[in-house]
Amino acid sequence: MQVRVLVRLKPGVLDPQGRAVHHALEGLGFDGVADVRVGRLIELDVADGTDRATLTAMCEKLLANTVIESFSIEAGAAG
């Protein structure tokens, strides 16, 4: 089973990387970009039937640092 975990910095947590990307987009002449935040997409191939609680535990224990990041789990996504 394919699972996608999207990890993002929580709102309000400074994202220097996003700011640099934003600045670079402006440098390339793209106007009208209000903000950029960079997250992380983690693709997992797990045993069929792996339950939501297990996936959530993976996120909380390792894939995301919940002090600064939030995560969302998209299970059963096409590979």
Partner 1 sequence: MAFRAAVITFPGSNCDRDMATALEAVSGQPAIRVWHGDADLPSGLDLIALPGGFSYGDYLRSGAMAATSPIMRAVVSAAERGVPVLGVCNGFQVLTEARLLPGALLRNAGQRFVCRTVALTVENTASPFTAAYAAGETIRIPVAHHDGNFYADGETLDRLEGEGRVAFRYAEDCNGSARDIAGVISANGRVLGMMPHPERAIEPAAITSLGGADGRRLFESILSSFATA
According to the binding rule CB under 8 A, does residue 1 interact with partner 1? no
As given in the structure block, the two tokens for residue 16 are 């220097």
| Residue 18 neighbours by CB under 8 Å, 6+ apart | 9, 35, 36, 37, 38
**Considering all CA atoms of the chain, what is the largest pairwise distance in Å, rounded to the nearest integer?**
47
Single residue of 28, 34, 47, 62 touching partner 1 by CB under 8 A: 62
- State in angstroms the smallest separation of the CB of 16 from partner 1: 4
Single residue of 3, 6, 44, 68 touching partner 1 by CB under 8 A: 68
- 3: phi > 0 → left, psi -120 to 50 → alpha, else beta; which? beta
- Per-position x/- string for 7-36, each x denoting binding to partner 1 as judged by CB under 8 A, each - no binding: ------xx-xx-xx----------------
Tell me which residues touch partner 1 (CB under 8 A). 13-14, 16-17, 19-20, 61-63, 65, 67-68
